[in-house]
Every structure is written in structure tokens, then in C-alpha cells.
Amino acid sequence: MSPLQELVQQKISHLNPQFDVSLADMSYFKIGGAAEVFIECDTREKIIEVVQFCHLEKIEFRILAGASNVVISSAGLPGITLSLSNADYQIKQNEGDKTVVQVGSGYKTALLVRKTIDDGFAGLEYYLGVPGKIGGAVFNNAHYDAHLIGENVAQVEVVTREGEVKWLTQAECDFRYDHSRFHSSKEVILLIQFALKKGDRVTSMQMVKEATIRRAQTQPLGEPSSGCYFKNVPNTPELMQKFPQFNGRTEFPSAFLIDTAGLKGKEVGGIKVSEKHAAFFVNTGNGTSDEVKQLANMVKAKIKESFGVELKEEVFWLE
Ligand SMILES: Cc1cc2nc3c(=O)[nH]c(=O)nc-3n(C[C@H](O)[C@H](O)[C@H](O)COP(=O)(O)OP(=O)(O)OC[C@H]3O[C@@H](n4cnc5c(N)ncnc54)[C@H](O)[C@@H]3O)c2cc1C
């Protein structure tokens, strides 16, 4: 046992910590070594207790939700990995023409969307096909076309790295395209309150169908991946001049640039630029996090050289 594992065993064994847990099979990318300490948190209170323990004992920790937007180091993760499955759901008060629905951050996004539609609410339909948990979706402000999930958020409850629990308003969350305050604040999202309009089931299911068909047509859904590896990039006068078909869009599709540069199908070891969606990397078998890094560097260099554009990661590295 490592010194950390001994400490955890001694002090918080009631939280059922597990040691040297392999993470690869949990991740959509099928990449990742072992977590030194792994704690499944199925309640908000358990998350708070682990975070406060980490603060007190000065232990580093990482958050894993659905593991669909991460590259986990093949060398494994030191410290404590919290896996979130806190999935309570409550219909709260009405606010104007909307109803506040409160949900634990570990609720699976697809199941939550289904539940809100079944309960007669509208607003989350386009996110049914986003893998992972709702806290992960809020963390990165999940998108479908120009729609952003943060538009539906009223408040978010977090625990800070110092163990303080507080509520944040939508404005405080600083939601933008592929961005929220949580990227830099490192607060852990506990609960999310969505403000949802009364819905019509038939219309909602039509929206779900539309988004599901579109995803199946454009994304390599059957292959292990971490979703879009790269974010779309800000559209610039230079890009607009070269590719006027995207004029009027504020975000320029990185997949188009990668495809135009002839990088579809490019491989490093077991990691490949998807043939179906050039911003996706897929794992063809035994890909490693090092190979992801090498392929990403190669794609970035080529796009910079060809178009003067700097690609940025949409995925999050856990290492
Ligand atoms: C096939 C495929 C299709 C996808 N399609 C879309 C799409 O259409 N739109 C879209 O926006 N994304 C898409 N994604 C990306 C991904 O599914 C989303 O970003 C998703 O919301 C991530 O949620 P997760 O639970 O898997 O987060 P994880 O991958 O587990 O975590 C992602 C990051 O969020 C942090 N995090 C997670 N939960 C919390 C929390 N409660 N508090 C603090 N930090 C937290 C983690 O530490 C990590 O840094 C797709 C991915 C795949 C594999």
C-alpha cells in the first residue's frame, strides 16, 4: 500500500475507498491507467466529505463523471479520484412561466433529458445524445449546434477546493461556448437547478429524434473516442476570406480545417483522426495517452502551418 492508501484506509474507510482501480474501461476512449485511490460518490454529502478530507490532508484529487470528455493518463492517476454518481432529482418551485428542476451532478445526461420530457418539461432535448453525466455537461457547457446547455441553468451548487459549499447564479457560472467558470475555479459541481418551460411531449421527442439522427450521421458513435478532441475556433477575417461558406458563423469548425489539411485517417499508434468527423480522435485498439498527445501535436502543427490557426483542446486531460 502507498502512504496515501494507508492514510485513506485509516481515516475514511467508511467511504469505501478502492485502491489501484483501472480506469480504461470506464472511459469512452478506453484509455487510462489505475487510480491510486478511487471513491464512488453516490451522494452530495459524500462528495463534500471527500473534498474536505482532501483539503485537510492536502491531498490532490480529480473528478471523473461519465469519462466521455477526458483523456486519462495511461500512467494512471495519483491522489484520489472521485467518481460521481449522485443522482437525486427533485421538481422544485415555479418561477414565472418556468419550473425549477434540481438534479445531482452525477445523473446521466441522457436519462435526465428523458425524465424531464416525461415530467412535461422542455429545454434539454438536444442534449439527450451527449454521453456522460449532467455535471460534466455543465462543466463544459455542452452544446448542440448553437444551443448551449448553460442557457437552461438557473443555479449551481458547488463545493470549493477549500471545502466551502455555496450556490452560484447562472451569471456567475460564466457560460460561453465550451467554457464555464469551473474550468479555472476547480469547484466541484454538486447540484444543478434548471429552469424549464412546460413542454409538449410530441414536440420534445421530435427534437430528440432530429438531434439523434444528426449525431449518428456525423459522429463516429461506434468507436471509442473522447468526443471532439479540438474545439471549434473563432471565425476571423482571414478564414472568412478563404472559406466564405462559413461567413456569419462566429465559431469556425475545426473539423473542416483538419479535413481540408488532409489529416482524416492520420494515425499515431492506436490513435487515429476519425474518418467520419475530423475533430474526433478514435482509439483503434490499444492506443495510449502518449499517442493521443503525439497525434494532437502533429495536427496542431499542420493546422498552424496551413491556416495560421491555433487549435485548442475541447477534451480535458486527467494526468
Ligand atoms: C461520442 C461522443 C459524442 C459527444 N457529443 C457531444 C455533443 O454533442 N456536445 C457536447 O457538448 N459534447 C459532446 N461530447 C463530449 C462529452 O460527452 C460532454 O462534454 C459531456 O458532457 C462530458 O460529461 P462527462 O460526465 O463524461 O464528463 P467527464 O468526461 O467525466 O469530465 C469532463 C471534465 O469535467 C469535469 N467534471 C465532470 N463532472 C464534474 C463536476 N460535477 N464538477 C466539477 N468538474 C466536473 C472533469 O473533471 C473533467 O475535467 C461527446 C463525447 C462523445 C464520446
Cβ of 183: how many Cβ atoms within 10 Å?
13
Average per-residue pLDDT for the chain: 97
Ligand 1 pocket check: which of 41, 84, 139, 318 to mutate, most ligand atoms within 8 Å of Cβ? 139
Burial of residue 197 (number of CB atoms within 10 Å: 0-12, 13-18, 19+): middle
pLDDT at 93: 85
Buried b (16+ CB within 10 A) or exposed e, 248-271: eeeebbbbbbbbebebbebebbbb
pLDDT at 236: 94
Pocket of ligand 1 (CB under 6 A): 28, 63-70, 84, 105, 130-133, 135-137, 139-140, 142-144, 182, 188-189, 219, 221, 225-227, 316
pLDDT at 100: 97
Ligand 1: residue whose CA is nearest its atom 38: 136
Report the atom number in ligand 1 closest to the C-alpha of 225: 53
Mean pLDDT of 123-145: 96
Q: How far apart are CA 70 and CA 68, in angstroms?
A: 6
pLDDT at 94: 87
Closest to 115 (Cα-Cα) out of 201, 212, 193: 201
- pTM of the predicted model as reported, rounded to 2 decimal places: 0.96
What is the tens place of the pLDDT at every residue in 235-291?
Answer: 999 999 999 999 989 999 999 999 999 999 999 999 999 999 999 999 999 999 999
What is the tens place of the pLDDT at every residue in 190-227?
Answer: 999 999 999 999 999 999 999 999 999 999 999 999 89
What is the tens place of the pLDDT at every residue in 224-240?
Answer: 998 999 999 999 999 99
Q: Residue 61: is its pLDDT beyond 90?
A: yes
Distance 12 CA to ligand 1 centre (A): 28
What is the tens place of the pLDDT at every residue in 79-100?
Answer: 999 999 999 999 998 888 999 9
Read off the C-alpha cell for 19: 485502491
Buried b (16+ CB within 10 A) or exposed e, 87-115: beeeeeeeeeebbbbbbbbbbbbbebbbb
Distance 315 CA to ligand 1 centre (A): 8
